[in-house]
Amino acid sequence: MPEEVQTNDSMPAQEPALESIPANQEVPPVLEDVPAVEEPSAAPQEPPVEALPESSPVSTAGSSEEEAEEEEQDEDRKKANDAEYDAMISSSLDFPQQGTVIEGTVISVTNEDVMVSIGGKSEAVLPLSEFRNEGPDSPVQIGQVFHLLFKGTRGGQPVLSRAEARQILGKVKIEKAFEAGAPIHARAVKRTKGGLKMEAEGLPGFMPFSQSGVRRGQEAELEGLVGQTFPVMIVELPSDKNMIVSRRLYLEKKAEAQRTEALKQIEVGKTAVGKVKHLTQFGAFVDLGGIDGLLHVKDMSWGHVAKPEDVVRIGQELEVAVLSIEGDKVALGLKQKSADPWDSIEERYPAKTRCRGKVTSITQYGAFVELEPGIEGLVHISELSWTRRVRHPSEVLSDGEEVDVVVLGLDKDKKKISLGFKQTSEDPWERITREHPEGSNVSGSVVSLTPFGAFVTLGEGVDGLVHISDMSYGKKINHPSEALKEGDVVEARVLKIDRKNRKISLGLKQARPDPWLKAESRYHEGDVVSAVVNRLADFGAFAEVEPGLDGLVHISEICTRRINHPSEALAVGQSVQATITRLDVDKRKMGLSIRALKRWGIPAVRPRCARRRRRPCQILGR
């Protein structure tokens, strides 16, 4: 009699088992070895197949009751004979107990049947359909050994079942795997609305979409699982309903086990080899073989890196330095594999050193210039030009251009270098202040007019301001356009130089002799002078006696008759003769009178009777 078969389904076509992984951090192996199944409980007891008789032909004899009774008696006798025969065969061949799982070896295979030998001279034929899904290439091959359920005998031949044996052994294996938290191998049969229909160890199962490990929107990947056999975790044991399995839980446990193992292999301060997995704006994620590390963009190079793809690419294998490990977070560095060029920066680039570099990037506030690999400095927008107002660095520099710069300062701790571009040429302000000190006269052209004055260029972008109050000694100017226009070439006096704020104050009137200094010696009260009316006001008219020397003709001193406004008797640009009635050199004021002159030019006061006669107004020179 064959030995009682252990419920071990490890045959030549057995499935590979995973490495043993503890439940808390590793995925347990797929269970293959299951303890022996006790014969009484191996399968639900069924009535012995021995009781199954060979089917007898149906009687087609007459319909009399005698013949029917005789046929029934013949059949009963035949059944008894068959039962005795099966019992005799079973006794002589020593068949195992009904419901026992035994081993059978395949001895032949046809398109419909499989013949197996169960020891001795006992052979049985099973449908080929019971051996489906036994192997990836062929359902069954000669010489393979399978576990089979012995159900009894029929006509002296053993009745076996491969499908029922798989279910018995599979249920035990699944229960043991569930208790141990171990995975099992399952095959995806077909796609359903909510997931995948599964089959494991001969038992049906179901895997919801949420447990498939496939992200939403990637249905093609889910379809690719159909027909595949892969490890899964058991979520619910088979009962009245199908068992529930999860590929996602298996992948998570596997990844956790790989992370734990990977963390054991890396150490802070040492190097590790990984492959670039993903790029972001702030860096690159590197797969270290089970755990991802972040290679930040600032740790890719000692120099400035605009974007990660300038240094690395997806799929690239890198040797990186492990900077820190905090839980599952691993910080990596690429530049740390080489010496820091900033260690001796002070010796190579002292202040005021002139050097050549390449513009690597341009921003709104300046341009970065690489002096050597890993060493970059910033040329601020204010350091691009001595005189020009630069709105954007691109107006002066271009990306990739090689330029000369001067080191203005450096901060070794912060790894910053301040560079200057305009310092490579002489400051025009130094030349202007050297060639035109305060008190000297300069020539220049008017470049612009403002309500408060006029700007005069002195060369190389250096402009000086002539304030409206410094345009004329005597004439009151309300707007610079009354005295100047753009493009006029003028001579001015340098009044003040503000080096700190880079401002130069100029004066037009100061470039000419002050007429008031000699006015006291040249003019006296009572003198008759010729003047030109240059401005009218409500209270009188201003007349220029000589350039820079104006006098006021009050409205009461314009005409012999009463007038309401000077324009009734005078016009701007009109030449008149007047007598000086008042002269105050300290206050720079001169009073004139036209009315006090008679036609023959002798000062006199008009008599009162003249007012009564209302003579026409007489103005000399009109």
Q: Residue 384 is part of a domain; what is its CATH number?
A: 2.40.50.140
Residues 533-548: tens digit of each pLDDT: 988 889 999 888 887 7
Q: How many other C-beta atoms lie within 10 A of the C-beta of residue 175?
A: 15
Residues 270-307: tens digit of each pLDDT: 888 999 999 999 999 998 887 889 999 989 988 778 88
Separation of alpha carbons 17 and 324, rounded Å: 36
Residues 142 and 4 grouped into a single domain: yes
Which of residues 138, 165, 182 is at a domain's end?
A: 182
pLDDT at 404: 93
pLDDT at 285: 93
For the chain, what is the domain count? 6
Residues 79 and 140 grouped into a single domain: yes
pLDDT at 514: 76
pLDDT at 378: 93
pLDDT at 80: 59
Residues 505 and 436 grouped into a single domain: yes
Residues 392 and 434 grouped into a single domain: no
pLDDT at 595: 86
Which of residues 404, 424, 444 is at a domain's end?
A: 424
User: Residue ranges of the chain with pLDDT lower than 70?
Assistant: 1-64, 76-94, 120-121, 133-139, 474-475, 598-622
Among residues 199, 145, 170, the alpha carbon closest in space to that of 34 is found at 170
Sheet holding 123-127, edge to edge: 123-127, 113-117, 100-109, 145-154, 157-161
Residue 259 lies in a domain: no
Residues 32 and 153 grouped into a single domain: yes
Query: Strand locations in 93-228, DSSP E?
Result: 100-109, 113-117, 123-127, 145-154, 157-161, 184-191, 195-200, 203-208
pLDDT at 367: 93
Which of residues 337, 362, 396 is at a domain's end?
A: 337
Q: How many other C-beta atoms lie within 10 A of the C-beta of residue 104?
A: 27
- ∠ CA 244-245-249, rounded to 5°: 135
Report which residue type is found at 420: G
Strands 366-372 and 375-380, by their bridges, are antiparallel
Q: Residues 6 or more apart from 502 whose CB is under 8 A from it?
A: 429
Residues 524 and 467 grouped into a single domain: no
Which three-class secondary structure state does DSSP give residue 173?
Answer: helix
Residues 63 and 169 grouped into a single domain: yes
Query: Strand locations in 512-548, DSSP E?
Result: 528-537, 540-546
Residues 174 and 189 grouped into a single domain: no
Residue 248 lies in a domain: yes
- The boundaries of the domain holding residue 525 are 516-613
Residues 116 and 244 grouped into a single domain: no
Among residues 40, 139, 17, the alpha carbon closest in space to that of 99 is found at 40
Residues 234 and 382 grouped into a single domain: no
